[in-house]
Structure 1
């Protein structure tokens, strides 16, 4: 069944600009749409419709970085008939509006900063922490300099701002203070190239993920992550990962770096 689902995902990447229906996507997998939907969710953690939406927004990010097309043109090119719907979904998923994301990238403010990023983490949504999640991440066979972003999300999709985030300059331990509830822990490992790769070409070397974790009040929880290569079943990462370096997260041995204001919405 995995081959069938991967074939359907390849169709999404090839035809994301088209108004693909569930029937059409299921037909490429040669499965009934009901059975296909169940198998798809079991293998990817989300529905075919959500996966297609993530693909479209990921392609929109690339077009914003690599072309001078207007936001309106890009919205239509990635399959949206409504500019308002595209803008609201992009903003919710990437944490910036399309225009602001482009402006930050062109100003060089989405590139990973130099120096050590390892340090304490903070809640990014203003919530009150109630429990500590301790964890480790290891990276088999990776010797080059990397930056690791570990975040806690309510959904399996890596989008929007993580409720809590830790940034490391190599494998090791991290801590996340989280409110009570169910959380997915996701990690992305980026190469620290010298000079840095263009933003549009920067892809995670490895990713890591946990099962759904139940964090309870005043009860410590532990998770151990292992980096692995991306597969066709992995959803693209929508949030602007390097931008987390500028989000007020404390750096080791230094004060938080505040993101400068950028004109544009």
Structure 2
């Protein structure tokens, strides 16, 4: 598939200054037609997808190495530390330095603001429906300002898959401000002998999306989210979860997070 070939090129060469022409060439399409086809398949532009790949790789490098933020910025294709820091902070929700620092303690519990904006809010509730899987899962559900899963959600819920084999799990997003929001979900494998216990080493197995929510004050919206297996055309998840979720992390891994030399190995 043309779009998948282009995405493979992005993953293989994200550190290089790829142009739209070069990416379109790998898909054997004109750049204008390629851009339309790419957006129809992925929901975003080729340039935005490439940026997501670069920032996703930067997240990994911040957690898995002791390289400086400047070195990482250049390694993932940025020529300006300022541009990298701005885009990373906007997309992940915290600065690169803060992201690395939080890897030693985990992300603080998500709390809602008590401003008037959040008082004029409603709630979204419903179910996530998981595909068949014998793997214990942790499911992250959040409301975002765009279809892309990035930044800090305005509201989120973290669930563990049922232990009785049921594939349906209830969620609730409280204090969702007035406006249009996109509810997205991702599920990662947890607590199994053959699953890497480090949150930053776990990759989503399933993703899901609900219809856009037009929230009004004091409304309670019900939304069903069907989950599906991740495929090559899905954008990398840029928010700070699951990498900074320390819950149920074994003590040796917690110690590694608190010790930069170990965390860098």
- Write out per-residue CA displacement over residues 83-110 of structure 1, whole angstroms, 9 at most, x where no aligned residue: 01111111221122212222222x2525
Q: Give 4+ residue runs of structure 1 displaced > 6 Å after superposition.
A: none
Q: CA deviation at 1:219?
A: 4.0
The residue aligned with 1:103 is 101
1:173 is the counterpart of 2:170: yes
Asked whether the 8 Å contact 1:123–1:178 carries over to 2, the reply is no
Equivalent pairs, count: 235
Q: Which moved more, 1:188-197 or 1:29-38?
A: 188-197
Go from structure 1 to structure 2 and tell me whether the alpha carbon gap of 1:56 and 1:24 turns closer, same or farther (over 3 Å shift).
Answer: same
Partner SS for 1:73: helix
State the alpha-carbon separation in 1 of the partners of residues 134 and 113 from structure 2: 31
Asked whether the 8 Å contact 2:200–2:243 carries over to 1, the reply is no
Q: CA deviation at 1:6?
A: 0.8
Normalising by structure 1, report the TM-score.
0.80
Asked whether the 8 Å contact 1:124–1:163 carries over to 2, the reply is no
State the alpha-carbon separation in 2 of the partners of residues 153 and 48 from structure 1: 21
The residue aligned with 2:165 is none
1:58 is the counterpart of 2:40: no
The residue aligned with 1:71 is 69
Q: How does 1:132-171 map to 2 (within 5 A)?
A: 132-170=123-161, 171=168
Choose between structure 1 and 2: higher strand proportion.
2
State the alpha-carbon separation in 2 of the partners of residues 5 and 125 from structure 1: 44
Q: How does 1:1-265 map to 2 (within 5 A)?
A: 3-105=1-103, 107-109=104-106, 123=112, 127-128=117-118, 129-170=120-161, 171-176=168-173, 177-193=175-191, 197-242=197-242
State the alpha-carbon separation in 2 of the partners of residues 68 and 89 from structure 1: 21
Go from structure 1 to structure 2 and tell me whether the alpha carbon gap of 1:210 and 1:22 turns closer, same or farther (over 3 Å shift).
Answer: same
State the alpha-carbon separation in 1 of the partners of residues 133 and 114 from structure 2: 32
CA-based RMSD of the aligned residues comes to 2.4
State the alpha-carbon separation in 2 of the partners of residues 96 and 131 from structure 1: 26
State the alpha-carbon separation in 2 of the partners of residues 109 and 232 from structure 1: 28
Q: CA deviation at 1:211?
A: 3.3
Partner SS for 1:241: coil
Normalising by structure 2, report the TM-score.
0.80
* Structure 2 unaligned blocks of 5 or more: 162-167, 247-265
* Structure 1 unaligned blocks of 5 or more: 247-265
